[in-house]
Amino acid sequence: MQRKLTSRVYDSMRTLLWTAREEPLDAPYPLRRRLYWWRRGFMAESASVYDLPRNDPADYVNDYVRRHRCRKINPVPALFDHKLLLRSILLQHGFRQAETVAFIAGGAIQMFPFGSDRRWASAQELESYLLRDGGRFVIKPESATRGTGVASIEVDDGQLVRRRGGKSAPFVVPMRGSPKLIERSLCQGALWSALNPTSANSIRVLTMWTSGEPAPFVAAAVQRIGVEATAPTDNWSAGGICAPVDLGTGRLGRGRMHPRKGRAAQPYYTHHPETGAPIEGSVLPCWEAVKETVLRACERVPLIRYAGWDVMVDDTDTPVIIEANNNSDVNLLQVHGGLLRRPEVRRFYERYGVL
């Protein structure tokens, strides 16, 4: 009994200390409130996002569990850590991908790394190609998450321009620093272009596959929608909008912004605040195809038990997997309700020792 009590106290202290370290330094919450939620594994900011304790905390995956335990569910995190690796596997299995125009690493450039015409090129040759093509491209770190370092590349008055949010600057191929990808922007389907034509508007689909069960299942999904400040990305943590997707019908609920990253005065969005496009009640075209695509990817890509897939639907109604996340953020999912309300989700987490 004493050993169990000691272990419980140790776990509680570790949870409190870890959560305290993760809480944003500028979070405007009294210390007493922070301590209360830290002991329960929630950052005070998350408790605010989830409207706790008005909603039952037992229905929610807390911050400590997600960051400390969920990352160990998949045995090979490298599948998710590097976009080129996952992209090569998906292409091998026939999944459509955005065209990779260039891979930049170690001071070298390989153009069209997945094409039959792949070749080494200089920075000048790459810039000349982008200018001649005249299309819209995206540059992104090969291994970063949450939209960090992502920008669009466009041609403006005969010059290459790098755009992020409302800021623009001349584009110069970055030959130093971490590896980067340049890919061709997808032309989105009509519904998504209407929501916001200047940003990616991807669907985050969380899948789980419990050991011993015959197939994976979709646990939750949200439609992410960019705003002017996040373009060309749609990241919720940067101020974008997310709306829950009904798993049976593909119908969207009301959009939400992060209460500290978006427009705090307006907690819910039935329409996009900038484009005016309807959000609540809109039905995602090809929703069944989106679900089929991610579930098939789970089965084809080895050792994926748990993944947050980012999917865009192009103008031919084809779902395109942009990337997948090993330890998907759950705040943009749980802002619409706790994941643990579903028995099969709770069973999955219990099976892998998360709860």
> What's the confidence (pLDDT) of residue 143?
82
Q: What angle do CA 285, 238, 194 make, to 5 degrees?
A: 30
Q: Both tokens of residue 287? A: 């929703």
| pLDDT, tens digit (0-9, with 9 covering 90-100), for 296-355 | 999 998 789 999 999 999 999 999 999 999 988 899 999 999 999 999 999 999 999 998
> What's the confidence (pLDDT) of residue 149?
81
> Measuring CA to CA, how many Å separate 324 from each of 7, 11, 77, 297, 328?
35, 31, 11, 10, 8
> What's the confidence (pLDDT) of residue 76?
86
Q: Are strands 203-208 and 306-313 parallel, antiparallel or unpaired?
A: antiparallel
> What's the confidence (pLDDT) of residue 182?
96
Domain locations along the chain? 2-68, 74-96+189-351, 100-184
Give the integer Cα–Cα distance in Å for 291 and 286.
9
> What's the confidence (pLDDT) of residue 262?
59
Q: Are strands 255-257 and 151-156 parallel, antiparallel or unpaired?
A: unpaired
| pLDDT, tens digit (0-9, with 9 covering 90-100), for 18-52 | 676 777 766 778 888 888 998 999 998 899 899 99
E strand intervals along the chain: 100-105, 108-111, 119-121, 137-141, 151-156, 159-164, 167-170, 180-184, 203-208, 217-225, 241-244, 255-257, 268-269, 306-313, 319-325
Look at the domain 74-96+189-351 and name its fold. D-amino Acid Aminotransferase; Chain A, domain 1 (3.30.470)
Enumerate residue ranges in the chain where pLDDT < 50: 2, 4-5
Q: Are strands 217-225 and 203-208 parallel, antiparallel or unpaired?
A: antiparallel
Q: If 0-12 CB within 10 Å is exposed, 13-18 middle and 19+ buried, where does residue 281 land?
A: exposed
